[in-house]
Amino acid sequence: MATTEKMTLNMGPQHPSTHGVLRLVLELDGEVITKITPDIGYLHRGVEKLSEHRTYHQVLPLTDRLDYLAPMHNNLGYILTVEKLLDIQVPERAQTIRIIMAELTRLESHLVWLATHALDIGAMTVFLYAFREREVIMETYELISGARMTSNFFRAGGLSQDVPPEFEKKVRDFIDAMPGNLDQYEGLLTTNPIWLKRTIGNGVITAEDAIDIGITGPALRGSGVDWDLRRDNPYSGYENYQFQVPVGEKCDTFDRYKVRLVEMREACKIVTQALDRLKPGPVLADCPQVCYPPKENVYNSIEGLIHHFKIASEGYPVPEGEVYQGVENPKGELGFYIVSDGSSKPYRMRIRPPSFVNLQAIEKMAKGAMIADLVAVIGTLDVVLGEIDR
Amino acid sequence: MAENNRAVVKLKEKFASSIVEVVEFRGEVTVTIKKEDLLAVLAFLKQALQFNLLTDVTAIDYLGKREERFMMVYLLYSIPNKDRLRIKAAVSEAECHIESATQVWAAANWLEREVYDLFGITFDNHPDLRRILMTPDWEGYPLRKDYPLQGPDREPYKGRLS
């Protein structure tokens, strides 16, 4: 009589779908997964601890390294929290540019998700196409901030500088072409029998379970929960924009794929609306205690130089209190919780990382699935380990 | 005003003796409660007031600043009501443990493991309380204020020598 034996298998961190820093200890019955124990922490950099030893301004470069596929979003979440503590208002032009960059970042993040998710499942053409479009967004980053990924473009009170004149045309050309590109991706995947067989009915998690385990963002909307922070707790003026929040029905990998593709189309609509309302004006609040002086003042006057030096070396004091601000990151709700003791450094800064909480659901989503389907489940959660391990 | 907040009104009706402090800052309401009543308050907020999403769990180390060293922080959100609430409970260093919120939300599992890993606060009745970011044999709790920034057994950073 044949006997079966359970096997334990380490998937990752070397497996391409596990991003080099995620290890999943699988218990297998044949090829069926009976238990998953994720092992994270390979990348832990101690960002929260480091933040307690830096001024509010010096913390900013740490934030865009958390989720390196959505650096501007991370900057935005942090900056909004600091602005909430400081209680300062941001000029309208800066708000509008923030929204343009946030939505371009959403597109960028979703493009990398689509590319790698499709590649994990075996579709390489989409990978090449999506990276072609992502390159344009990288060029836009470089155009406005000088860096392709770690942008550091936002500042408490506005932006580090205004965008150059060619920015608007470059973004508009890109956004006008995106719907056609999205049709191209969908043409390759949405009716592809292999894609459908690998995604439909795979990684199912009900709305109730998803909320209980704390999933947010497109993964939650894929389970049919109509909730988006941009619409439900608006920030940066999102309440002035028209866009749809897509939701899924079957709570599976295919629904999450469709939700993200519709989100990309909606992001294009938001960027177009923002470009239409972009008017000349200041990009930094009139708040000399917090905002750096214009560069011409720093170079040409001793007062400007002292002003710049004082903020750079001492930082700015922030009123005592505690605030939380969540933003709709491409992965879900990214939140910053800052406790201020009235000094120029955060007493405690907690980052609420969407990928960390979302990954917690992997056991529920993949238990009982075949081992090959686990690759699709990892991809559909769109995790970035830099954000998980911090 | 915090006194008019829907959740605060209900909590004052039902858990008047458990509430230590109610604070509003920048439009955000924080309710500090006694740690022994934490689970009952969280369960009530979820079931009766529809705070169905546990956004985050974290802790603060008030070393030398307050009598009870740690403060547990629970960030709650109600998807139906689009409402946020922050619940806090003080934990002393001598009795460094608190009831696990996993009994109310599954989301608390990894979040509490992280607090345990980095602050050393233990959670009673947690289903799988192990370190999550640090290695199992790691000594000390890195997010405590008395844990050195450079790590143990290392000289403090003195800046670049060049």
Measured in angstroms, the CA of A51 and the nearest CA of chain B are apart by: 10
Q: What is the pLDDT of residues A3-17, one digit of tens each?
A: 777 889 888 787 777
d(CA A258, CA B20): 47
pLDDT category at B122 given cuts 50, 70, 90 is: very high
Whether the predicted pLDDT of A101 surpasses 60: yes
The answer to whether the Cβ–Cβ distance between A350 and B58 falls below 8 Å is yes
- Chain A residues lying within 8 Å of B140, measured CB to CB: none
CA distances from B76 to A84, A313, B46 (A): 19, 37, 9
Average pLDDT over residues A136-143: 93
Measured in angstroms, the CA of A166 and the nearest CA of chain B are apart by: 38
pLDDT averaged over every residue in chain A: 90
Q: Verify cis geometry, omega within 30 degrees of 0, for the bond prior to A353.
A: no
B142 touches chain A (CB under 8 A): yes
Put residue A320 in one of left, alpha, beta given phi > 0 → left and psi -120 to 50 → alpha: beta
Backbone dihedral angles phi then psi of residue A321, each to the nearest 5 degrees: 155, -175
Closest CB from A46, A87, A233 relative to B82: A233
pLDDT for the residue A1: 64
The answer to whether the Cβ–Cβ distance between B25 and A44 falls below 8 Å is no
B143 touches chain A (CB under 8 A): yes
Measured in angstroms, the CA of B17 and the nearest CA of chain A are apart by: 24
Q: Are A22 and A383 in contact (CB under 8 A)?
A: yes
d(CA A41, CA A22): 8
Q: Are A222 and A81 in contact (CB under 8 A)?
A: no
Q: What is the pLDDT of residues A172-188, one digit of tens each?
A: 999 999 999 999 998 98
A360 touches chain B (CB under 8 A): yes
Percent of chain B with pLDDT over 90: 64
Q: Are A184 and A129 in contact (CB under 8 A)?
A: yes
Interface of B with A in 98-137 (CB under 8 A): 105-107, 109-111, 114, 118, 131-135
Average pLDDT over residues A206-221: 92
Best mutation site among B109, B132, B137, B144 for testing chain A: the one with the most A CBs within 10 Å? B132
Neighbour tally for A250: CB within 10 Å:
15
The answer to whether the Cβ–Cβ distance between A40 and B53 falls below 8 Å is no
pLDDT for the residue A238: 92
Token pair recorded at residue A349 = 């800064």
- Chain A residues lying within 8 Å of B110, measured CB to CB: 356-357, 360
Average pLDDT over residues A59-78: 90
N- to C-terminal Cα separation, chain B: 55
Whether the predicted pLDDT of A346 surpasses 90: yes
The answer to whether the Cβ–Cβ distance between A337 and B52 falls below 8 Å is no
Measured in angstroms, the CA of B107 and the nearest CA of chain A are apart by: 4
N- to C-terminal Cα separation, chain A: 51
pLDDT for the residue B152: 80
Best mutation site among A42, A51, A213, A324 for testing chain B: the one with the most B CBs within 10 Å? A324
Residue type, B11: L
Closest CB from B105, B107, B142 relative to A49: B142
Contacts 24+ apart (CB under 8 A), A86-91: A86/A156, A86/A287, A86/A290, A86/A316, A86/A318, A86/A319, A87/A319, A87/B26, A88/A156, A88/A157, A88/A285, A88/A287, A88/A290, A89/A285, A90/A157, A90/A158, A90/A236, A90/A285, A91/A158, A91/A281, A91/A282, A91/A283, A91/A284, A91/A285
Q: What is the pLDDT of residues B21-30, one digit of tens each?
A: 899 999 899 9
Whether the predicted pLDDT of A239 surpasses 70: yes
Measured in angstroms, the CA of B134 and the nearest CA of chain A are apart by: 6
A49 touches chain B (CB under 8 A): yes
Whether the predicted pLDDT of B159 surpasses 70: no
- Chain A residues lying within 8 Å of B73, measured CB to CB: 337, 350
pLDDT category at A334 given cuts 50, 70, 90 is: very high
Average pLDDT over residues A56-83: 91
The answer to whether the Cβ–Cβ distance between A357 and B52 falls below 8 Å is no
pLDDT for the residue B16: 86
CA angle centred on A212, ends A207 and A213, rounded to 5°: 100
Which residue of chain B comes nearest to A234, CA vs CA? B82
pLDDT for the residue B150: 80
Beta strands in chain A (DSSP E): 7-11, 23-29, 32-39, 154-155, 158-159, 321-329, 332-340, 348-352
B79 touches chain A (CB under 8 A): yes
Whether the predicted pLDDT of A136 surpasses 80: yes
pLDDT for the residue B160: 62
pLDDT category at A348 given cuts 50, 70, 90 is: very high
A227 touches chain B (CB under 8 A): yes
pLDDT category at A267 given cuts 50, 70, 90 is: very high
Neighbour tally for A205: CB within 10 Å:
24
